[in-house]
A and B are shown apart, each in its own frame.
Chain A
Amino acid sequence: MASAMINVPAKARRGDIIEIKTLMSHIMEPGYRHKASGEVVPRDIITSFTCRFNGNEIFRADLFPAVAANPFITFFTTATESGKFEFEWIGDKGFSETASASISVE
């Protein structure tokens, strides 16, 4: 039941600095912990987050085992034109999730 929450303003004026907030559901198991039986719990984390605006990459982050569960990634960008933000999370065990949000710029 993986799910993402995205907060992008629906409207902005050209040149405005806008905040993008993203929250992704993920356990972020670091791979350093052991079960009671002594076996290592295998690493299961998100390794990469990317945001594209109208096809062009505008933000990218690499994630590591120290990042807490359910990573909350927020960043700022300048509103230049109307269009679509596309978000992508990639991780261990074939984890791959996408989300998108549109903005209209006047």
Chain B
Amino acid sequence: MRFSGAIAAALLTASIVGAAEIPQTDRRSGYSFMAPDTRVMQDDDTANPGMLWVLDGEALWKRKAGAAEKACADCHGDARVGMMGVAARYPAFDRATGRPVDLEQRINSCRTSQQQATPLPFESRELLALTAFVARQSQGVPIETGADPQLAPFIAKGRELYTQRQGQLNLACANCHDDNWDKRLAGAAITQAHPTGYPLYRLEWQSLGSLQRRLRACITGIRAQAYDYGAPELVELELYLMSRAKGMAMEAPGVRP
């Protein structure tokens, strides 16, 4: 209740919503909104709990799975070399389905087609661990998502969702994250919604979580019906947000309050 009251208060203080895009020079990672203690937690690998998933992911990367008895490493080799910069290009266009897929979906499609194994459930420890391990190899790499021209119509759809008012509170993502990112919602900073650190460890979750989990939490917060995990709408939103953060450095696994 406190939370929704704060949303209403933030809206009242907001001027007429202009949905102006954030100028390139004003773009800031969620990291820069955090308290110094939380930043230290992210920066120090031995204090960053996200690294526990990265370690698990490294073990899974080398483990044989499925009827094909193949490990990720059997095709892709050393992830430190082969996976560098890969997460910075996701979601990417998938030729087989003619749609964008995010990193979790790519890992699962590799599991079913190459390893002939069952796909891992969304938000399972294994899928988060593999995603975190792959994303970690892009730490510091500038985001390049959206360079493929085939993605253009899906980025446009994602932007449409981002600016579409929805839910009982009748809010679009842009109402907070474009128009009010320099303000606070209750005690929490409203950030610019650049997904630079996913999958990331949220202290509130006491766990690592995906960008889809974060988006679903935000959608529930404006009291709209959240899309299911893997829904095309969520992937299009992910795609738009990543292309909007183009050029910013990858931080995965990030830490956020």
Residues on A close to B: CB < 8 A?
1, 3, 5-7, 21, 23, 25, 27-28, 68-70, 72, 74
B52 within 8 A of A: yes
In the bound complex, what is the Cα–Cα distance between A25 and B46 (angstroms)? 12
Query: What's the minimum C-beta distance from B45 to chain A, rounded to whole angstroms?
Result: 8
Chain B contacts for A68, CB-based, 8 A: 203, 206
Chain A contacts for B129, CB-based, 8 A: 1
Q: Given A1, A23, A27, A28, which contacts B56 in the complex, CB threshold below 8 Å?
A: A1
B59 lies within 8 A of A5 (CB): no
Chain B contacts for A25, CB-based, 8 A: 49, 52
Interchain Cβ contacts under 8 Å between A and B, 24 examples: A1-B56, A1-B59, A1-B125, A1-B129, A3-B56, A5-B46, A5-B51, A5-B52, A5-B55, A6-B46, A7-B44, A21-B44, A23-B46, A23-B47, A25-B49, A25-B52, A27-B206, A68-B206, A69-B206, A70-B52, A70-B206, A72-B47, A72-B49, A74-B47
Chain B contacts for A21, CB-based, 8 A: 44, 46-47
Residues on B close to A: CB < 8 A?
44-47, 49, 51-52, 55-56, 59, 125, 129, 203, 206-207
Beyond A69-B206, A69-B207, is A23–B59 a contact (Cβ under 8 Å)? no
Chain B contacts for A7, CB-based, 8 A: 44, 46
In the bound complex, what is the Cα–Cα distance between A77 and B66 (angstroms)? 47
Chain A contacts for B203, CB-based, 8 A: 68
A23 lies within 8 A of B125 (CB): no
In the bound complex, what is the Cα–Cα distance between A72 and B203 (angstroms)? 13
- A28 nearest CB neighbor, chain B only: B206
Query: What's the minimum C-beta distance from A15 to chain B, rounded to whole angstroms?
Result: 24
In the bound complex, what is the Cα–Cα distance between A72 and B125 (angstroms)? 20
Chain B contacts for A72, CB-based, 8 A: 47, 49
Chain B contacts for A28, CB-based, 8 A: 206
In the bound complex, what is the Cα–Cα distance between A5 and B49 (angstroms)? 9
- B207 nearest CB neighbor, chain A only: A69
Query: What's the minimum C-beta distance from B80 to chain A, rounded to whole angstroms?
Result: 18
Most interface-central of B46, B51, B125 (chain A CB within 10 A): B46
Chain A contacts for B49, CB-based, 8 A: 23, 25, 69-70, 72
Query: What's the minimum C-beta distance from A25 to chain B, rounded to whole angstroms?
Result: 4
In the bound complex, what is the Cα–Cα distance between A73 and B56 (angstroms)? 20
Beyond A3-B55, A23-B49, A70-B49: 15 further Cβ-contacts under 8 Å? A1-B125, A5-B46, A5-B51, A5-B55, A6-B46, A21-B44, A23-B51, A25-B49, A28-B206, A68-B206, A69-B49, A69-B206, A69-B207, A72-B49, A74-B47
Chain A contacts for B207, CB-based, 8 A: 69
In the bound complex, what is the Cα–Cα distance between A27 and B55 (angstroms)? 16
In the bound complex, what is the Cα–Cα distance between A3 and B51 (angstroms)? 10
In the bound complex, what is the Cα–Cα distance between A38 and B59 (angstroms)? 37
In the bound complex, what is the Cα–Cα distance between A28 and B207 (angstroms)? 11
- B46 nearest CB neighbor, chain A only: A7
Query: What's the minimum C-beta distance from B25 to chain A, rounded to whole angstroms?
Result: 36
Query: What's the minimum C-beta distance from B21 to chain A, rounded to whole angstroms?
Result: 37
In the bound complex, what is the Cα–Cα distance between A79 and B164 (angstroms)? 60
Chain B contacts for A70, CB-based, 8 A: 49, 52, 206
